[in-house]
Amino acid sequence: MPPSHIEELQAWLGRTATIVDQQSAVEGYRFHSMERFVLELGRPYLSQPLTAEEAAAVEMAIESYRFGYGYFKHRECFANAQRLARTPLVYVEGYAWTLSLYLVLHGWVSINGKVIDVTLPVEKEDDLALREPRQVRGEFEGRVYFGVPFLQDYVHQRAAATGGPGSLLDDWKHEFPLLKNGGAGAVRRRGR
């Protein structure tokens, strides 16, 4: 039986992390790559339909977002997802693989482990003509998600410390605090 796309993604993360571990390890860092961090602390997110309660909670969060920020912006997945994340929505950062395109570092939210992605990667220039990016609300095809769920307090603290939302993993301006210190106080239990 051929490996699943999730297994392929995990294998890619493992290969990339091993190369970085061997060639670019920085002394004093708990993790030497974003890929290793995601592989060890993250989990796969599968396509699952939302319940009526989950769909209502997502819709309420989206309405609240739009009241405060307007429409979701193309190519701003970290900002869109971090601003949308509020109980019961959890901010997740990791890798999304659009099977027809490429693997990207990406941010989304989840509700009970189900993907809510309000910033699908642009697949063709026509996508930019849409008022908002295409979205996933629970169910999806042709893509794979593997990421780390973050504690809401940590997301807010990092946004305050850095001047706004952005990638928590690829925070090179602040010397990659997650890679340096690990996930303690930042990451939710793996099952979420």
Pair of tokens at residue 16: 């990339």
Share of the chain above pLDDT 90, in %: 76
Question: How would residue 1 be classed by pLDDT, with cut points 50, 70 and 90?
Answer: very low
More confident residue, 140 or 188: 140
Q: What is the pLDDT of residue 22?
A: 87
Q: Is 60 exceeded by the pLDDT of residue 191?
A: no
Q: What is the pLDDT of residue 188?
A: 84
> What is the average pLDDT score of the chain?
91
Question: Mean pLDDT over residues 106-130, rounded?
Answer: 90
pLDDT one-digit tens code per residue, 141-186: 989 999 999 999 999 999 999 999 999 999 999 999 999 999 988 9
Question: Mean pLDDT over residues 114-133, rounded?
Answer: 87
DSSP string, 36-102: HHHHHH-EEE---PPPHHHHHHHHHHHHHHHHHH-SPPTT-HHHHHHHH--TT-EEEEEEEEETTS-
Q: Tell which phi-psi region holds residue 113, choosing left (phi > 0), alpha (psi between -120 and 50) or beta.
A: left
